[in-house]
Structure 1
């Protein structure tokens, strides 16, 4: 009788053992090149939007992006196969390998990011191969940046308790590394084509690379701080190493900025070896930043002082249950959302910078708009990182509060702040043939997606349908367990609210300025259908996402059914009240505009044109009256447009 053998993990073979790290490195390098050259082509090199085709430099970068994206997609496909082979201990191509690999890619958490990332890379490759206009570079660049999200999901942070926080930090790290590295490769690639423009392009890339260094260093340090088990660990050897690396990165960044400034000056003066020096400095900074990030991720962390066993809430949420929700917790409970908090801070700083720039030029900007902008983004930050973000995955009612705040309340303040108008006034247009923020904002307003989404009927329809589609389908349950779906739902609600409210009361340049009475009709329809949704939610007997909320084993608060009723009532009040206020605002504006039109008409009757303006002895021809009416309309049109009336409404009112 042979002895019992306890088998270990099966061996996937030498092909997988050597192939997986090789194709992973190729995928990451290809992603960096693709993202970097697209950013360089869209924002740094000459090539005007609205032209018939790409400039020669942009065309060269497009071809590099095609090669990089195809390599990214192909190596990503190989990574998916090798990852399954390594996890299952199965040789690639063995019996039932393909069917089991497909199950791994579509059903398991470890495989889904690999599959979605590969599909996005193939889509990007097709997009880069098909684009022939500068405007397409913007879409391709956004798609390339979005394709980094699956890589962040599959990063080293995916297996930790603070999964969502560390995934967000990993995304920042990837953004910094890919734009920095790929931009440097693209700059080397197109240097012979730039000629005298090399100094300008290198300067713009250098500024982008400086921000990338901040992202790489900041994400590494923040990730290390998140991993610390407590404040006591700051005094440990790991904490000392973290502090030392922060100092090193700060010194290296300062030296790199000083050296880069001197090199750019020499490039502008025609120095022969200045460009090579710039590349050397960028490579050193890149290696130091990336090396510090890798070292921080791999340095041993002090062990936990608490019981490592996890309860149900920690398994599902990645954290412990928050305390019982009371009046004070609405303001005091915060948990940083590292996607929305940095975004809210950044856009507020940029807005204030635009206001200060206008004042420096002697132009005025209403202070209440800045207050509205800051208040709107505070509400966005509160909805995602404050009490709704903390309690939303725990109780249904706060989940409703979060989405109503993002879709209704915050967009009203953000739209009234007129950020697009401020940007178009504060940002100077570029004169060197490249495309900066101002050019891309103007192009965005003309894009097909924005044109369709900003159509009032479309915006109102999507706004009305968003709440039933989330709560009466399986999306609600999916958004609880998937960080990707959760963030996509938040983005969708915010943008839908911005387009809907912008079509009603927006002050920014808008492609579709509907008449006031039509806007009022759309708003009344939205009020009615949102009330129907709230009433249906209140009357339903089925508890939504009961398996998720019940599995948390919450020891405090109302029952699941009672909490759902509270959520329906909160959604009704918080959603209807701002819409009613908007309806009142539109009614007052409509009455004011009609009174303004009547006063103008009475003024024209009380003060007719002098007889000297009418040719004496000449009969008035039929076309003269139409010509005078047209001239009158042209004089009145700016005033009526400022009041928000469409051209068709102008003509109807003057005829009456």
Structure 2
């Protein structure tokens, strides 16, 4: 096992380590504690200026609740960022200890490989517990705040139970608490990069209930507000949490500092972009216009934006100046800037919590005195049904999906340029195909189909069929996995980067199971039956997270199925062309049967939604459902026909390649296979000109007859 020597002389500064003032554990924890203090000071000052903790005239919960809840909110944010940041460093930044590494210790003069990874894992475990406990306290204080009563009393526990079981806010807080507790348990059990990756994913899921409890700017922008807040929380925890953990493990990084800083810098760029875009979206929703900037809430937004911009400038300076100098052993400037960022980040988080505690200019009130359709859907309803151009000129943006599509397009173009820069060829048509597939997903999730899909079942089926049958064709023909594997750099230090994670996923047992041809076909058929003939359709219409799951699930199901048929990317062994055509025709038959069932059905699906809209242009919901069934039947045949043509073409080309390969082999060995076959037939015919009982009256010699019979196989 490789070890790195450590100079322990007083006042020494190692070439591969941080300066003295951050090299000791006491120095590092002082810095982190100072960042937390800066956050608390910023929070208290901001709340005092905005009056968010001013006593209410009616049902005042008391100063303990009014001031305690924002402070606990800040503890929750800091603990969440610390947990996620530490897990991310374990998952994709730091090299883990080798399998034969001894248990973690504190040697005096040597540092084992993976020491920073182990320290990061311990921090994640401890922070996860703090996160869970702080959420429990936050839940109690939140109930006291919304109910307007102080903590305590003989009935307080019973009231909390009702709040958690019957009130939506309480259920969301309880769900977040349970998910966070699971994150804490998994963080304690993390033993490698794979389990750390699972913990990061679960932590991102645990942020979803928190995003659903923030300011929603009224029901009219609920989905955009929820998506933007989740993106904001995810970006902040990845960005600020990772930065804080770099400080916490500074003394254990050693020569891993340079690659860890470079990897974190790349991750921080994406996280910062998420924070910036989602922050602008949140501000636009809650301010209600430029006039909102003159309010106390608006002034906090400006202060937070200025601090966030300063952090972005610091990150840019890292990439240009300090990180490149790490190879020369010049670490002091890097760590000074990191410490400044950590202190400023504490202030940013304090301002963010103050914002969440301050009433925005646009009040978070339910819609009143609006038509039924607007009250149910939460957004203004068009005054006419969809026409030809309306499908392409009307928009209802889904921020989460749009950011995902734009990010994917940027990544694909970056990979393509990287391959071209090093002289590798990659077909332009594959890039175009990927772009078309991604744009189709953006269209059905944020364009006309998204706007009318919540109003008309037929428009919803447009969304479904494009996601399942059309967009996957373009995605598969673009060969994204092959492009990624060729463009992404490989790591040799034991850590898992994007390339290693992707290959691990592609070759995992789960991927192999769902990519099995029969399973892929059954997945599409079974998913449609399960989704449309259970309450899942209604849940997707009423719950934004279920709606997002629908988009992801059906897109992946379609991708898996199309990849089995005409895929270019590596994956499980594909069946022969006859079985592929059989699976395709079976799926086509199911779509026809499903469409016919919708056309002949007399029961309205998701009746509490589609049946109660009362659209202004007058719509027979059942007749529209039958129209959706007809579209499913008719449209489903078009992509299936394209797939059948592609399969037939690929089959012919495969036969041609096989024939050419056999011809080349015959030219090299003098057609040895045919000669051996003829010799075998001649031996079987016997010396008498034929086997016993064989009729050779046609006059053909045994050898000629054998050669004649062998010709078709040749």
Shorter chain as denominator, the TM-score bin is 0.7 to 0.9
Aligned partner of 1:146 in structure 2 is 205
2:257 & 2:456 partners in 1: Cα distance?
Answer: 56
1:168 is displaced (CA, Å) by 1.3
Aligned partner of 2:88 in structure 1 is 39
2:396 & 2:634 partners in 1: Cα distance?
Answer: 26
- Is 2:405 aligned against 1:344? yes
Aligned partner of 2:621 in structure 1 is 560
- Is the contact made by 1:224 and 1:296 (CA closer than 8 Å) also made in structure 2? no
1:542 is displaced (CA, Å) by 1.0
**Deviations 1:155-208 (CA, angstroms, capped at 9, x unpaired):** 233655311111111112112211122212221222222112223312332343
2:362 & 2:160 partners in 1: Cα distance?
Answer: 37
1:359 is displaced (CA, Å) by 1.2
Structure 2, gaps ≥5 residues long: 1-55, 103-112, 681-711
Query: Which one of the candidate residues 492, 502, 518 is aligned to 1:457?
Result: 518
2:87 & 2:306 partners in 1: Cα distance?
Answer: 33
Aligned partner of 1:629 in structure 2 is none
> Compared with structure 1, are the counterparts of its residues 50 and 355 closer, same or farther at alpha carbon in structure 2 (3 Å cutoff)?
farther
> Compared with structure 1, are the counterparts of its residues 39 and 602 closer, same or farther at alpha carbon in structure 2 (3 Å cutoff)?
closer
1:244 & 1:72 partners in 2: Cα distance?
Answer: 27
Which one has more relative contact order, counting CA pairs under 8 Å at least 6 apart?
A: 2
1:560 is displaced (CA, Å) by 0.7
Alignment of 1:58-73 (within 5 A): 58-73=117-132
- Is 2:157 aligned against 1:108? no
Aligned partner of 1:368 in structure 2 is 429
1:65 is displaced (CA, Å) by 1.5
2:463 & 2:99 partners in 1: Cα distance?
Answer: 40
Query: Which one of the candidate residues 252, 255, 259 is aligned to 1:196?
Result: 255
Aligned partner of 2:556 in structure 1 is 495
1:73 is displaced (CA, Å) by 2.5
Name which of structure 1's ranges 513-522 and 18-27 shifts more when overlaid on structure 2: 18-27
2:224 & 2:429 partners in 1: Cα distance?
Answer: 34
> Compared with structure 1, are the counterparts of its residues 302 and 530 closer, same or farther at alpha carbon in structure 2 (3 Å cutoff)?
closer
Aligned partner of 2:283 in structure 1 is 224
> Compared with structure 1, are the counterparts of its residues 9 and 302 closer, same or farther at alpha carbon in structure 2 (3 Å cutoff)?
closer
2:486 & 2:185 partners in 1: Cα distance?
Answer: 36
Secondary structure of the 1:577 match is: helix
1:145 & 1:577 partners in 2: Cα distance?
Answer: 38
2:324 & 2:486 partners in 1: Cα distance?
Answer: 30
1:402 & 1:466 partners in 2: Cα distance?
Answer: 15
1:25 & 1:502 partners in 2: Cα distance?
Answer: 46
Aligned partner of 1:317 in structure 2 is 377
Aligned partner of 1:134 in structure 2 is 193
Name which of structure 1's ranges 521-530 and 355-364 shifts more when overlaid on structure 2: 521-530
Aligned partner of 1:587 in structure 2 is 648
Aligned partner of 1:176 in structure 2 is 235
- Is the contact made by 2:61 and 2:149 (CA closer than 8 Å) also made in structure 1? yes
Secondary structure of the 1:156 match is: coil
1:24 & 1:285 partners in 2: Cα distance?
Answer: 18
Q: Which structure has the larger Rg over C-alpha atoms?
A: 2
1:381 is displaced (CA, Å) by 0.4
- Is 2:464 aligned against 1:403? yes
1:510 is displaced (CA, Å) by 0.5
Query: Which one of the candidate residues 273, 278, 283 is aligned to 2:342?
Result: 283
Secondary structure of the 1:36 match is: helix
Query: Which one of the candidate residues 336, 353, 367 is aligned to 2:414?
Result: 353
Alignment of 1:299-310 (within 5 A): 301=361, 309-310=369-370
- Is 2:85 aligned against 1:25? no
> Compared with structure 1, are the counterparts of its residues 607 and 249 closer, same or farther at alpha carbon in structure 2 (3 Å cutoff)?
closer
1:106 is displaced (CA, Å) by 4.2
Query: Which one of the candidate residues 601, 607, 613 is aligned to 1:546?
Result: 607
Aligned partner of 2:534 in structure 1 is 473
**What TM-score comes out, normalization by structure 2 length?**
0.76
1:372 & 1:191 partners in 2: Cα distance?
Answer: 45
1:139 is displaced (CA, Å) by 1.6
- Is the contact made by 1:444 and 1:450 (CA closer than 8 Å) also made in structure 2? yes
1:471 & 1:385 partners in 2: Cα distance?
Answer: 22
- Is the contact made by 1:50 and 1:135 (CA closer than 8 Å) also made in structure 2? no
1:331 is displaced (CA, Å) by 1.0
> Compared with structure 1, are the counterparts of its residues 554 and 187 closer, same or farther at alpha carbon in structure 2 (3 Å cutoff)?
same
**Deviations 1:57-88 (CA, angstroms, capped at 9, x unpaired):** 32222222122222222332333344334434
1:595 is displaced (CA, Å) by 5.8
Aligned partner of 1:647 in structure 2 is none
**Deviations 1:444-479 (CA, angstroms, capped at 9, x unpaired):** 212333222222222221111111211111111111
- Is the contact made by 1:49 and 1:134 (CA closer than 8 Å) also made in structure 2? no
Aligned partner of 1:644 in structure 2 is none
- Is 2:142 aligned against 1:83? yes
> Compared with structure 1, are the counterparts of its residues 399 and 363 closer, same or farther at alpha carbon in structure 2 (3 Å cutoff)?
same
Secondary structure of the 1:485 match is: helix
> Compared with structure 1, are the counterparts of its residues 114 and 367 closer, same or farther at alpha carbon in structure 2 (3 Å cutoff)?
same
- Alignment root-mean-square deviation, CA: 3.9
1:98 is displaced (CA, Å) by 5.3
1:576 is displaced (CA, Å) by 3.0
1:101 & 1:528 partners in 2: Cα distance?
Answer: 53
User: How many residues in Structure 1 have an aligned counterpart in Structure 2?
Assistant: 614
2:268 & 2:353 partners in 1: Cα distance?
Answer: 18
Secondary structure of the 2:527 match is: helix
> Compared with structure 1, are the counterparts of its residues 136 and 9 closer, same or farther at alpha carbon in structure 2 (3 Å cutoff)?
same
- Is the contact made by 2:75 and 2:134 (CA closer than 8 Å) also made in structure 1? yes
> Compared with structure 1, are the counterparts of its residues 167 and 497 closer, same or farther at alpha carbon in structure 2 (3 Å cutoff)?
same
